[in-house]
Every structure is written in C-alpha cells, then in structure tokens.
C-alpha cells in the first residue's frame, strides 16, 4: 500500500514565544527537537519505510527531518528542499505576539488571519528585517516568487503545483514519501488530498511533530489517514 507521511516541524523557538513566524528562518526549540526524535521513534514502531524525503526551505523543517532520519538510523541521506513548501507568509503580523495582537485586533480577526481561506494580513514592508528579501536563505529565489503576505489560498497555489510536479508522480510509481513542512503548507496539502471545502478548512489544525500517515489505493485515492501519536492528534476532516 502506497503511503505519504506529512509532518509539521517540531515546536520552533518562536512557537514557544507565541509569535507569528511565517518565512522567518527560525530553528527548533529544545521541545521541538524532542518532538522530532519522538516522531522518528513512532515511525520506527510503525515500521514505515521511505524512498524519498522532502522538506521546506526552512531550518525548522529541515532539522526536524534530519532528526527523524538520525533517529531512524539513516545517515547522510539526501532530501529535496523546496521553498514552495514553506510556511505561509504572515505579512505585517510577522514577528508579533499572537496574544498581544488578539488584544489589539480582536480574537475573531486573528483567528480569521490564521485559519481562513482567502483573508491575508497587510503586506510586510520590504525594508523590514523579517522580510524574505532580507533573509540570506532566500537570495536565490526569484524575487517575483517572494511574497509580501499570503492567505492560505496563496499558500495552496504554490504548494499544490509543486506537489503535483514532484511528489505525486513518485506516488504514482508507488514510492513511499516523507514530507517535513509547516502548519499551513500541510493544511494546503490536506485540503487538496482530502477535498476539504474553502469553508471547512478553517477547522483543520495541524499539531507539531506528529506524523500524519496517508494511505492510497492503486488509483491514488486516499483510503485512510491517521496520526501516529493518538494522544496529540487533531481532528482530520476526512471521511473514507
């Protein structure tokens, strides 16, 4: 049975500080490193094997994947890094504390910014130190592809073409895939794979460091999906 495992990176340093992170290249917290290692142990216990590995361009996802591979006893295994799998860009909210912004803008508005399909925050000033244009990691990405802000819809529109061109064709060849990415890039993938509506996608939450295993039949129809750590699982909007 063909399987795809999606894992949101372990807790990052800015997750622990409750900040909007987006495209800022923040590393894992100590807790996040432990979550990544635990994810590797869960994968071992499930006896899952992989042919290809992918991550976003951001080190919290890259290091999550490396820690999983290390825990699995895999050394020096190459994987593809893709900016298209990056977290959603939070625009002018980047670097700000979520609780403080709830007090300023209202809890409903912040929830809409975080979970809605098409709403996006105001643009982040291009001179801001947190703008991707000012982060060395992204210097080789064409400037036309670097956002000032994004909605989930915008994120979907860069994640899914990459998934279809790079990952889906491998699944068609019955290759087993592990993808380490982010809350919103994984929400985009789940929307696509589980056929979640624009309205319902706001109800989907992705926990950190918990492998989501998706099984496909021979026609690549999703037949089953579940989190390996049931105690930390979030509700999946998928009915097979």
Give the CATH number, domain containing residue 23: 3.40.50.1240
Catalytic residues, by residue number, are: 9, 87
Structural domain of residue 102, as residue ranges?
2-231
Among 16, 42, 56, 27, CA closest to 180: 56
Q: Using an 8 Å Cβ cutoff, are 206 and 186 in contact?
A: yes
pLDDT 10s digits, 56-80? 999 999 999 999 999 999 887 889 9
Instruction: Please report whether residue 237 resides in a domain.
Output: no
- In whole angstroms, what is the distance from residue 231 CA to residue 168 CA? 30
Parallel, antiparallel or unpaired: strands 222-227 and 212-216: antiparallel
Instruction: Please report whether residue 90 resides in a domain.
Output: yes
Instruction: Please report whether residue 238 resides in a domain.
Output: no
Instruction: Please report whether residue 135 resides in a domain.
Output: yes
Instruction: Please report whether residue 157 resides in a domain.
Output: yes
Instruction: Please report whether residue 239 resides in a domain.
Output: no
**How many domains is the chain built from?**
1
Instruction: Please report whether residue 236 resides in a domain.
Output: no
Among 78, 31, 19, CA closest to 54: 78
Q: Kindly give the parts of the chain with pLDDT less than 70.
A: 239-240
Instruction: Please report whether residue 12 resides in a domain.
Output: yes
Q: Using an 8 Å Cβ cutoff, are 123 and 149 in contact?
A: yes
pLDDT score for 114: 86
Q: Using an 8 Å Cβ cutoff, are 16 and 35 in contact?
A: no
Q: Is the pTM of this model over 0.75?
A: yes
Residues 6+ away with beta carbon under 8 Å from 240 = 222, 223, 224, 225
* Helix (H) / strand (E) containing 177: strand 177-181
């Amino acid at each position: 049975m063909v399987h795809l495992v999606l894992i949101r990176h372990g807790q990052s340093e800015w997750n622990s500080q409750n900040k909007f992170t987006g495209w800022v290249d923040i590393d894992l917290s100590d807790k996040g490193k432990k979550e990544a290692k635990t994810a590797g142990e869960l994968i071992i216990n499930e006896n899952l094997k992989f042919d290809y590995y992918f991550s976003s361009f951001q080190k919290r996802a890259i290091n999550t994947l490396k820690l999983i591979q290390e825990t699995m006893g895999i050394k020096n295994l190459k994987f593809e890094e893709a900016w298209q799998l990056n977290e959603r860009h939070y625009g002018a909210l980047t670097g700000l504390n979520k609780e403080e912004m709830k007090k300023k803008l209202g809890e409903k508005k912040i929830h809409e910014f975080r979970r809605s399909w098409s709403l996006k925050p105001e643009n982040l000033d291009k001179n801001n130190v947190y703008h991707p244009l000012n982060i060395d990691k992204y210097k080789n990405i064409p400037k036309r592809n670097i956002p000032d802000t994004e909605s989930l819809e915008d994120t979907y529109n860069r994640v899914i073409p990459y998934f279809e061109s790079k990952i889906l064709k491998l699944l068609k060849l019955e290759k087993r895939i592990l993808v380490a990415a982010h809350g919103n890039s994984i929400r985009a993938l789940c929307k696509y794979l589980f056929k979640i509506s624009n309205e319902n996608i706001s109800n989907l939450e992705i926990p950190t460091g918990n492998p989501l295993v998706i099984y496909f039949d021979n026609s690549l129809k999703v037949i089953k999906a579940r989190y390996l750590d049931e105690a930390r699982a979030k509700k999946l909007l998928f009915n097979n």
